Amino acid sequence: MISATIYDRGNIPASEGTIENNRWTKWINANSPVDVKFVPIARAEAAQKVNVLFASGDAPDLIFEYDPNIKNPLYDQKQLMPLDDLIEKHSVEYKKFLQKFPAVKDAGLKSDGKLYEFGKLNEVMLQNVIIIRNDWLKKLNLPVPKTTDELLQTAIAFANNDPDGNNKKDTFGISLSSNVGGALTQLFGVAMDIDDSGQAFYPFERQKSFVDFQKSLYDGGIVDKDFLTDKNGAKAKQDFLNGKLGIYPAQGNTFSIWYELFVTNYATIKANAPGAELTIIPFPKSPNGQFMSGLVNPLQMTAVVNAAAKDPVSVIKYIDFLLTPMAGVTLSNGIEGEHYKKGVNGCPVVLDVQKQKTEVSYHAGVDYDMVYNKTEDGVCGFLASNFDPGKPEEKVALDLFKLSMNNLYSTNPSMYPAITHSEHLPTLPNDLKVALENINKQTSEIWTKAILGGSKYTTDQALGEAKAIWEREGGKRIQEFYTKWYKENKDKAFLPKKMYDIIDSQKAKQQQLLK
């Protein structure tokens, strides 16, 4: 028997048992070549729980975890087992996977040159999208905005020119709530980046352009004045569903989000705004360059092995089992004939939505199998296969998703708004981590003050203070850390060019579904 962690998201129905003892843990133990004891890890407290388990000597053999800031310190403390020889001698499925996708192995290597992490491929899609009321563009005779200045002017027109035709000034141009602000942050390229000489830098000028944009919207009454208190984006979403929001920067990185936005809520939008037409636009060009949305992590490193594991060979056998289509399809969709049937394209179709929600969805379709590569399931592993174009609302969702993917295909690695995906960045040493937290807290307050401060506190003043805080609190040392890492690892690290290699490898299957 081996032991393995399982995320406890606190959402398992009482009728299903516990996250460590339910129909799926029983199914795994009935079908796996290895018996598994599951150790629950509260999702919101993963770092604390994992550290306590290792400190007490009770850590499981296999730790499933996405966050590099949890896994990297375990490597530094020599708590993890190298996997190269184990995979070479005892694996069939995972070894074949690494041979087919060498980038996965590269991403799992540590500074000693050995492999310590298991990984999987995801379907590549944009992390965020910008949804716009196309009917409002038509009514006000406005073009699709291609620059951030045009986006600003469009938002102003949506707020001031009565696009819903009710003779009231009751519409907002765009949302700035923190929950959806990630799209706008990426639009302006506000993240640690690398210049042409290989030096890391924080883009203060990009940040200022973003704050100038927000300040113009706030001063002009174009956005909800209470956007700062809309922490989870609930108010912005409701304004969008009520037909009162013209530009909605939204997360669009999983099927559940797409389904909720464009299928579950489509009837609500049409009831509140019968003439509503939605479209998704490419990211407009900012004053400091053309950037794109971040991407769903194309390659996630998801599991490590405890250095103290007594039977690592059985761990490898279990990983190989999880890579089989039988395990992957079942743990993602449930039992054929009970939870799903095969549709016209041979892909799973849910039989009973409520039954699926109660008996399958509580493990998010992935938590028991965080190494399975859905993209290896042919077209069935891709998001578009989940939509039924025979249903009007699902055809709308599929058409909008197609626009989103076409926007992705028109981008290139140089437009990526950061050094790389955050899950592939190195973990800062504790002193620099604390320094960055202090910098972010102080500069966030300054930039907010600039947005809300009218003429009394300008963005130029905020820029000067932000730069001073960066220098005072250790920003230069943070830049030096990333510069050193980049120069030492640029040939093997998972940088945007490798992301686009995966995009290219998936494109044909995606386009087959998006015809």
Could you report the per-residue pLDDT of 383-414, keeping only the tens digit for each? 888 888 888 888 888 999 999 999 999 999 99
Q: What percent of the chain has pLDDT over 90?
A: 83
Rounded mean pLDDT, 502-514: 89
Q: What is the pLDDT of residues 154-194, one digit of tens each?
A: 999 999 999 999 999 999 999 998 766 689 999 999 999 99
pLDDT of residue 421: 94
Rounded mean pLDDT, 424-442: 96
Rounded mean pLDDT, 5-24: 96
Give Cα 129 distance to the centre of its chain: 12
Q: Please state the φ and ψ torsions of residue 78, each to the nearest 5 degrees.
A: 60, 35
pLDDT of residue 262: 82
DSSP secondary structure string for all residues of 304-322: EEBTT-S-HHHHHHHHHHH
Q: What is the pLDDT of residues 131-151, one digit of tens each?
A: 999 999 999 999 999 999 999
**Euclidean distance between CA atoms 400 and 131, whole angstroms:** 9
Q: What's the mean pLDDT when you consider all of the chain?
A: 94
**Euclidean distance between CA atoms 185 and 173, whole angstroms:** 17
Res. 66: pLDDT tops 80: yes
The encoded tokens of residue 465 equal 């203070």
What band does 283 get if pLDDT is binned at 50, 70 and 90?
Answer: very high
Rounded mean pLDDT, 317-346: 93
Res. 60: pLDDT tops 70: yes
pLDDT of residue 180: 64
Res. 364: pLDDT tops 80: no
pLDDT of residue 181: 61
Q: What is the pLDDT of residues 234-247, one digit of tens each?
A: 899 999 999 999 99
Res. 365: pLDDT tops 80: no
**Do 60 and 79 touch, CB atoms closer than 8 A?**
no
The encoded tokens of residue 15 equal 């009728």
What band does 205 get if pLDDT is binned at 50, 70 and 90?
Answer: very high
Rounded mean pLDDT, 122-132: 93
Res. 363: pLDDT tops 90: no
Rounded mean pLDDT, 16-39: 97
pLDDT of residue 469: 98
Print burial letters for 326-345: b (CB count within 10 Å at least 16), e (below 16).
ebbbbbbbbeeeebbeeeee
Angle at 145 between CA 140 and CA 146, to 5 degrees: 155
**HEC string for 39-63:** EEEEHHHHHHHHHHHHHHCCCCCEE
**Do 451 and 225 touch, CB atoms closer than 8 A?**
no
**Do 130 and 183 touch, CB atoms closer than 8 A?**
yes
pLDDT of residue 390: 86
252 burial via Cβ count (<10 Å: 0-12, 13-18, 19+):
buried
What's the one-letter identity of residue 488? E
Q: What is the pLDDT of residues 314-330, one digit of tens each?
A: 999 999 999 999 999 99
**Do 72 and 426 touch, CB atoms closer than 8 A?**
yes
What's the one-letter identity of residue 280? I
Non-local CB neighbours of 190 within 8 Å, separated by 6+ positions: 203, 206, 207, 210, 417
For the chain, how many helices (H) and strands (E)? 21, 13
**Euclidean distance between CA atoms 318 and 332, whole angstroms:** 17
Q: What is the pLDDT of residues 308-317, one digit of tens each?
A: 999 999 999 9
pLDDT of residue 92: 97
Rounded mean pLDDT, 196-209: 97
Please name which of 126, 135, 222, 132 lies closest in space to residue 183, comparing C-alpha atoms.
Answer: 126
Rounded mean pLDDT, 90-116: 95
Residues β-bridged to residue 21: 18
Res. 56: pLDDT tops 90: yes
**Euclidean distance between CA atoms 345 and 444, whole angstroms:** 49
**Euclidean distance between CA atoms 206 and 220, whole angstroms:** 21
